[in-house]
Amino acid sequence: MSDSSPLFSDLAVAGVRGLQPYQPGKPESELKREYGLDDIIKLASNENPLGPGARALEAAQQAMTGTHRYPDGNGFDLRQAVAAHHEVDPECVTMGNGSNDVLAMVANAFLGPGREAVFSAHAFAVYPIVTQAAGAASRVVPANRPNHAMPYGHDLAAMSEAVTDAVRVVFVANPNNPTGTWLQANDLRAFLERLPATVIAVIDEAYFEYADDPEYPDTSRWLGAFPNLVVTRTFSKAYGLAGFRVGYGLSHPGIADLLNRVRQPFNVNTMAQAAAIASLADQDYIQQSVNLNLEQRHWLSDELNALGLRVLPTAANFLCFEVGPNAAAIYEGLLRDGVIVRPVANYGLPGFLRVSIGLPAENARFLASLSRQLSGAA
Ligand SMILES: *Cc1c(COP(=O)(O)O)cnc(C)c1O
């Protein structure tokens, strides 16, 4: 276009100039538009396939009548409920518009030019984005080897070694997305003990509720031992409230105070706060969601193995499986069948796809379509 507008990218701050936006799972509506399909299943963003819990929905609907008012900007009731759930002081809780928001707050409060963040290869895509947007540099640590017990998972020894004086934040996803791999209590605790007290350790526990290994740690219990710890949790996954956008950080009150200085004033809306509080009180629904996931995860994992596919170990509500060099074509073939999964080439795993565990019928339909793609009969 020959208008007189300046080259806007020259005007942006350095970190933003080189930034690629986060690529979400393909929304159903987009596939409908592009392929003219009606009957679509989305297994691409690790949402709870059961939908929001009835009690959360009812609370949100009731809260809607008050939405001519601003939300409670301090989230008093939500922070009380979260604090009671974790048996911590409400001063330890920072509420976020999803836990992504808390990750961005950590970056804005503790990163900047001349500072660095450490995280693993194949880790959650938001870590490099918030780091770069804050003007800081990323130290991406090579992950475990493919033949490791936790293939492509975090190599904590290597991550410790990557911590230089410039490093102010380390991001650890436990379990990790997109691999599904996880860290056990002993290893993670030893890692935190090695970490200088001046480095903020973010443990991202978005999939906490799904982890079934008895050695998987609840690091919210470690806040007293590690004042530099920030634990993030979300209502987007097992709690079934992804569309509401609500999550939180747990930390020392001194860190929470700093995060709250960069937090947007009304970052969590009225209905989201009400839904989150109600869902915390509805642990039966969480248990039901977790049970369904476990049962279907085992089934689907066995079925993928039976197709001759390698499935990475997972403690979450998704499976990362290897299909080889045709991954992009297989992804497209699944789309034509109305099945949305997640390509993970942008996570450095070009031969893999990630599928969220859905309802039994959805998982069966995904599997049938996948086996058609693999046999070339699609
Ligand atoms: C889904 C996910 C989140 C949660 O994002 P929200 O902003 O809470 O919806 C955080 N971390 C990881 C690793 C995730 O996969």
Residue with tokens 């699944």: 334
Kindly give the distance from the C-alpha atom of residue 254 to the centroid of ligand 1, in angstroms, as a whole number.
24
Kindly give the distance from the C-alpha atom of residue 247 to the centroid of ligand 1, in angstroms, as a whole number.
9
Are 135 and 113 contacting, i.e. CB atoms less than 8 angstroms apart? yes
Kindly give the distance from the C-alpha atom of residue 103 to the centroid of ligand 1, in angstroms, as a whole number.
9
Chain Cα centroid distance, residue 107 = 16
Residue with tokens 């859905």: 358
CB-based burial, 4-29: b 16+ in 10 Å, e otherwise: eeeeeeeeeeebeeeeeeeeebbeee
Angle CA 108–109–112, to nearest 5: 60
Cβ(116) – ligand 1 distance below 6 Å: no
Cβ(177) – ligand 1 distance below 6 Å: yes
Looking at the CA of residue 316, tell me the nearest atom of ligand 1: 15
Whole-number pLDDT of residue 1? 52
Residues 212, 189: Cα–Cα separation, whole Å:
18
Looking at the CA of residue 99, tell me the nearest atom of ligand 1: 8
Cβ(173) – ligand 1 distance below 6 Å: yes
Whole-number pLDDT of residue 36? 85
Kindly give the distance from the C-alpha atom of residue 234 to the centroid of ligand 1, in angstroms, as a whole number.
7
What pLDDT, in 10s, does the model give residues 143-196? 999 999 999 999 999 999 999 999 999 999 999 999 999 999 999 999 999 999
Kindly give the distance from the C-alpha atom of residue 208 to the centroid of ligand 1, in angstroms, as a whole number.
11
Looking at the CA of residue 97, tell me the nearest atom of ligand 1: 7
Cβ(358) – ligand 1 distance below 6 Å: no
Kindly give the distance from the C-alpha atom of residue 308 to the centroid of ligand 1, in angstroms, as a whole number.
30
Cβ(125) – ligand 1 distance below 6 Å: no
Residue with tokens 């900007």: 73
CA atoms within 13 Å, Cβ hemisphere of 188: 29
Q: What is the pTM of this model?
A: 0.96
Kindly give the distance from the C-alpha atom of residue 173 to the centroid of ligand 1, in angstroms, as a whole number.
10
DSSP element (H, E) containing 76: helix 76-86
| Helices vs. strands in the chain: H and E counts, helices first | 14, 13
Query: Could you tell me which of 18, 17, 106, 21 has the C-alpha nearest to residue 346?
Result: 21
CA atoms within 13 Å, Cβ hemisphere of 214: 0
Cβ(236) – ligand 1 distance below 6 Å: yes
Going by CA atoms, what residue is nearest to atom 1 of ligand 1?
206
Q: What is the 3-state secondary structure (H, E, C) of 282-303?
A: CHHHHHHHHHHHHHHHHHHHHH
Residues of the chain with pLDDT under 50: 378
Going by CA atoms, what residue is nearest to atom 14 of ligand 1?
206
Are 143 and 122 contacting, i.e. CB atoms less than 8 angstroms apart? yes
What pLDDT, in 10s, does the model give residues 73-126? 999 999 999 999 999 999 999 999 999 999 999 999 999 999 999 999 999 999
The tokens describing 347, both together, are: 């996570």
Cβ(205) – ligand 1 distance below 6 Å: no
Cβ(63) – ligand 1 distance below 6 Å: no
Cβ(204) – ligand 1 distance below 6 Å: yes
Are 219 and 86 contacting, i.e. CB atoms less than 8 angstroms apart? no
